[in-house]
A = this chain, B = another copy of it.
Amino acid sequence: MDKFFQFIQPFTHLGQASKEALVNIAQRWELPKGHLLVQAGTVCHYLYFIEAGLTRTFYDKDGKEVTDWLSAENSIACSIVSFITRKPDIRSIELLEPSILWALPYQPLENLYRQYHEIERLGRLMVSDGLVQLQQRFDDLHFATASQRYQKLLQSHPTFLQRVPLGMIASYLGVTQETLSRIRAQV
Protein backbone atom coordinates (compact mmCIF):
# COMPACT_ATOMS: atom_id res chain seq x y z
CA MET A 1 0.00 0.00 0.00
CA ASP A 2 3.02 2.31 -0.21
CA LYS A 3 1.61 4.00 -3.29
CA PHE A 4 -1.67 4.57 -1.52
CA PHE A 5 -0.02 6.18 1.47
CA GLN A 6 2.01 8.33 -0.87
CA PHE A 7 -1.21 9.33 -2.57
CA ILE A 8 -2.90 10.44 0.65
CA GLN A 9 0.12 12.23 2.06
CA PRO A 10 -0.88 15.65 0.65
CA PHE A 11 -4.25 15.32 2.37
CA THR A 12 -3.28 14.63 5.97
CA HIS A 13 -0.79 12.87 8.17
CA LEU A 14 -1.74 9.46 9.50
CA GLY A 15 -0.30 7.87 12.61
CA GLN A 16 0.89 4.28 12.69
CA ALA A 17 -2.34 2.93 14.17
CA SER A 18 -4.50 4.51 11.47
CA LYS A 19 -2.22 3.22 8.75
CA GLU A 20 -2.32 -0.28 10.09
CA ALA A 21 -6.09 -0.15 10.41
CA LEU A 22 -6.34 0.82 6.75
CA VAL A 23 -3.91 -1.91 5.71
CA ASN A 24 -6.06 -4.39 7.59
CA ILE A 25 -9.23 -3.62 5.67
CA ALA A 26 -7.67 -3.05 2.24
CA GLN A 27 -7.74 -5.84 -0.33
CA ARG A 28 -5.18 -6.11 -3.09
CA TRP A 29 -6.73 -7.12 -6.40
CA GLU A 30 -4.96 -7.91 -9.61
CA LEU A 31 -7.45 -8.03 -12.44
CA PRO A 32 -7.40 -8.39 -16.24
CA LYS A 33 -8.43 -5.83 -18.82
CA GLY A 34 -12.15 -5.81 -19.37
CA HIS A 35 -13.05 -6.81 -15.81
CA LEU A 36 -16.19 -5.11 -14.51
CA LEU A 37 -15.50 -3.57 -11.09
CA VAL A 38 -18.99 -2.18 -10.68
CA GLN A 39 -22.09 -3.31 -12.53
CA ALA A 40 -24.74 -0.77 -13.49
CA GLY A 41 -27.85 -1.11 -11.34
CA THR A 42 -25.96 -2.36 -8.30
CA VAL A 43 -24.51 -0.70 -5.24
CA CYS A 44 -20.80 0.14 -5.31
CA HIS A 45 -19.29 -1.49 -2.24
CA TYR A 46 -15.68 -0.45 -2.64
CA LEU A 47 -13.52 2.59 -2.99
CA TYR A 48 -10.68 1.66 -5.33
CA PHE A 49 -7.20 3.04 -5.29
CA ILE A 50 -5.46 2.28 -8.58
CA GLU A 51 -1.85 1.28 -8.07
CA ALA A 52 -1.44 0.41 -11.74
CA GLY A 53 -3.80 0.37 -14.67
CA LEU A 54 -6.73 2.33 -15.95
CA THR A 55 -10.46 2.36 -15.23
CA ARG A 56 -13.43 3.81 -17.04
CA THR A 57 -16.74 4.75 -15.46
CA PHE A 58 -19.58 4.74 -17.96
CA TYR A 59 -23.32 4.50 -18.34
CA ASP A 60 -25.86 3.71 -21.01
CA LYS A 61 -27.63 6.60 -22.66
CA ASP A 62 -30.21 5.61 -25.25
CA GLY A 63 -28.28 2.50 -26.17
CA LYS A 64 -24.94 4.25 -26.33
CA GLU A 65 -22.18 4.06 -23.77
CA VAL A 66 -21.20 7.41 -22.30
CA THR A 67 -17.88 7.66 -20.50
CA ASP A 68 -18.32 9.51 -17.24
CA TRP A 69 -14.87 9.37 -15.75
CA LEU A 70 -11.40 7.99 -16.40
CA SER A 71 -8.95 7.10 -13.63
CA ALA A 72 -5.36 6.04 -14.07
CA GLU A 73 -2.68 4.81 -11.68
CA ASN A 74 -2.30 6.78 -8.43
CA SER A 75 -5.87 7.91 -8.36
CA ILE A 76 -9.25 6.81 -7.09
CA ALA A 77 -12.00 5.00 -8.94
CA CYS A 78 -15.47 4.72 -7.45
CA SER A 79 -19.10 4.99 -8.40
CA ILE A 80 -19.26 7.87 -5.97
CA VAL A 81 -22.99 8.55 -5.80
CA SER A 82 -23.71 4.88 -5.21
CA PHE A 83 -20.90 4.51 -2.68
CA ILE A 84 -22.11 7.50 -0.69
CA THR A 85 -25.86 7.00 -0.95
CA ARG A 86 -25.77 3.17 -0.78
CA LYS A 87 -28.16 3.03 -3.70
CA PRO A 88 -27.79 1.41 -7.13
CA ASP A 89 -26.56 3.72 -9.82
CA ILE A 90 -26.54 3.70 -13.60
CA ARG A 91 -22.76 3.75 -13.70
CA SER A 92 -20.52 0.78 -14.37
CA ILE A 93 -16.76 0.70 -13.94
CA GLU A 94 -14.53 -1.42 -16.13
CA LEU A 95 -10.81 -1.92 -16.49
CA LEU A 96 -9.32 -0.60 -19.71
CA GLU A 97 -6.00 -2.22 -18.82
CA PRO A 98 -4.88 -5.06 -16.57
CA SER A 99 -4.74 -3.35 -13.19
CA ILE A 100 -3.56 -3.59 -9.61
CA LEU A 101 -6.10 -2.19 -7.19
CA TRP A 102 -6.51 -1.65 -3.50
CA ALA A 103 -10.17 -2.05 -2.63
CA LEU A 104 -11.50 -0.42 0.54
CA PRO A 105 -14.86 -1.96 1.50
CA TYR A 106 -17.60 0.46 2.57
CA GLN A 107 -18.63 -0.71 6.01
CA PRO A 108 -15.16 -1.41 7.40
CA LEU A 109 -14.12 2.00 6.12
CA GLU A 110 -17.09 3.61 7.85
CA ASN A 111 -16.05 1.86 11.04
CA LEU A 112 -12.57 3.31 10.73
CA TYR A 113 -14.07 6.74 10.22
CA ARG A 114 -15.74 6.40 13.61
CA GLN A 115 -12.74 4.85 15.26
CA TYR A 116 -10.02 7.17 14.01
CA HIS A 117 -10.52 10.91 13.82
CA GLU A 118 -7.51 11.03 11.49
CA ILE A 119 -9.19 8.75 8.97
CA GLU A 120 -12.45 10.68 9.18
CA ARG A 121 -10.36 13.74 8.39
CA LEU A 122 -8.71 11.99 5.47
CA GLY A 123 -12.17 11.07 4.22
CA ARG A 124 -13.39 14.65 4.46
CA LEU A 125 -10.38 15.99 2.61
CA MET A 126 -10.56 13.35 -0.11
CA VAL A 127 -14.24 14.00 -0.71
CA SER A 128 -13.51 17.73 -0.74
CA ASP A 129 -10.90 17.15 -3.37
CA GLY A 130 -13.38 15.10 -5.37
CA LEU A 131 -15.87 17.92 -5.14
CA VAL A 132 -13.33 20.40 -6.46
CA GLN A 133 -12.41 18.08 -9.33
CA LEU A 134 -16.03 17.55 -10.28
CA GLN A 135 -16.77 21.25 -10.10
CA GLN A 136 -13.86 21.97 -12.40
CA ARG A 137 -15.07 19.36 -14.86
CA PHE A 138 -18.52 20.90 -14.63
CA ASP A 139 -17.10 24.35 -15.31
CA ASP A 140 -15.24 23.06 -18.34
CA LEU A 141 -18.43 21.67 -19.76
CA HIS A 142 -20.10 25.04 -19.24
CA PHE A 143 -17.21 27.26 -20.19
CA ALA A 144 -14.93 25.67 -22.67
CA THR A 145 -15.60 24.59 -26.21
CA ALA A 146 -15.18 20.94 -27.10
CA SER A 147 -11.86 21.83 -28.71
CA GLN A 148 -10.59 23.55 -25.56
CA ARG A 149 -11.69 20.61 -23.44
CA TYR A 150 -9.73 18.31 -25.71
CA GLN A 151 -6.64 20.49 -25.38
CA LYS A 152 -6.98 20.51 -21.61
CA LEU A 153 -7.25 16.75 -21.47
CA LEU A 154 -4.16 16.45 -23.66
CA GLN A 155 -2.29 18.60 -21.16
CA SER A 156 -3.55 17.03 -17.96
CA HIS A 157 -3.56 13.40 -19.11
CA PRO A 158 -1.42 13.11 -22.23
CA THR A 159 -1.25 9.32 -21.99
CA PHE A 160 -5.01 8.89 -22.26
CA LEU A 161 -4.86 9.48 -26.00
CA GLN A 162 -2.81 6.35 -26.44
CA ARG A 163 -4.59 4.36 -23.79
CA VAL A 164 -8.27 5.17 -24.35
CA PRO A 165 -10.24 4.72 -27.60
CA LEU A 166 -11.38 7.96 -29.18
CA GLY A 167 -15.07 7.22 -28.80
CA MET A 168 -14.69 6.99 -25.03
CA ILE A 169 -12.73 10.21 -24.88
CA ALA A 170 -15.34 11.89 -27.05
CA SER A 171 -18.22 11.05 -24.74
CA TYR A 172 -16.08 11.99 -21.74
CA LEU A 173 -15.67 15.41 -23.33
CA GLY A 174 -19.36 15.56 -24.11
CA VAL A 175 -19.26 15.29 -27.90
CA THR A 176 -19.74 12.52 -30.42
CA GLN A 177 -16.85 10.55 -31.77
CA GLU A 178 -17.33 12.10 -35.21
CA THR A 179 -17.17 15.62 -33.83
CA LEU A 180 -13.99 14.89 -31.87
CA SER A 181 -12.43 13.36 -34.93
CA ARG A 182 -13.17 16.56 -36.85
CA ILE A 183 -11.81 18.69 -34.01
CA ARG A 184 -8.57 16.77 -34.16
CA ALA A 185 -8.39 17.15 -37.93
CA GLN A 186 -8.55 20.93 -37.59
CA VAL A 187 -5.62 21.16 -35.17
Contact = CB atoms under 8 A, between A and B. Distances in A.
Contacts of A132: 80-81, 84-85
Nearest to A117: B117
Interface in A104-139: 113-114, 117, 120-121, 123-124, 127-132, 134-138
Given A117-B117, A120-B120, A121-B113, A131 B127 contact: yes
B81 A135 contact: yes
**Main secondary structure on A side of the interface with B:** helix
Interface string A136-174: 111001110000000000000000000000000000001
Contacts of A81: 132, 135-136
Interface residues of A, number: 29
A66 interface: yes
Given A113-B124, A121-B113, A124-B120, A137 B138 contact: yes
Contacts of A120: 117, 120-121, 124
Contacts of A142: 61, 66, 68, 174
Copies in the complex: 2
Contacts of A135: 80-81, 134
Given A61-B143, A81-B135, A117-B120, 16 more contacts: A68-B142, A80-B131, A84-B131, A85-B132, A113-B121, A114-B121, A117-B117, A120-B124, A123-B124, A124-B124, A127-B127, A131-B134, A134-B135, A134-B138, A137-B138, A138-B141
5 contacts: A80-B131, A84-B129, A113-B121, A130-B131, A138-B141
Given A84-B128, A127-B127, A131-B84, A138 B138 contact: yes
A117 B130 CA distance: 21
Contacts of A68: 142
